[in-house]
Structure 1
């Protein structure tokens, strides 16, 4: 018999309560939600070690992915999944810490671009290394076929929820 996880127990309990209306088909989504919550808690713990909040980590990581390019606050917002109202204070805090700087946008007199500083690059490189190591450790428990099948299935779900990417911060 296979090992049971928390979601197996939840599905069994709901199936008992909702006789004739089994929810076993949503177990995949319940696992995604639970895994996401666990990984978010792990990220918060990691961020605390680097004196960051998870949104700040996400913003620095988005800037690091395109380094040495800069991003507008809107582009940065898209890369972090934060609300647009949270972006200005987030950039303010990162700038106060010396991790980013705002630059005038040469293409828009009213606009700004956000640049990763050397201190920001050093910090996010260290934090990312720890995060990637942990995620790699988890994925290493799966076979190559499992990784490919899981990634393909999850991509389909993401496309249903978000739609295809129109453009990326990598352009």
Structure 2
């Protein structure tokens, strides 16, 4: 089983150019394992948030590249050494969480194993690739619609357009 949960948190410090709904809590669920936290609303001003937007952008990128690259490492940007590993084996995605070095030029997504990588929290959680892709598309689409509703005056925002274009590209690939 694979799923994604998120909850948008209203942060009053948003720049005027930034989309309302960018920040919040984000959780990946792989079988009985979770990565991330969804805190109750009463803790919104206490707990740190993450960029829901960037998580979806990166996961859509991984869906796009996984068939050709076979492996991807998603950096948890809020951690100095945590990576989420996605390996395509046949028609399954094997997901693990580990630690490894982040070099100066390290990107949010890497396609080679980080230096000194080792599994730390949980490993080898297998999910069907089509389920993985469909859940990411479904949740990213829902999130995009929420952003549109929260930002009716910013429908031409470059970040919103980027998210919608990535979703459309993956859907187009899926249909062809």
Normalised-by-shorter TM-score class:
0.3 to 0.5
Q: What TM-score do the two structures reach when normalised by structure 1?
A: 0.36
Higher Cα Rg, which structure? 1
Q: When the two structures are superposed, what TM-score results if normalisation uses the length of structure 2? A: 0.36
Question: Which structure: greater strand fraction?
Answer: 2
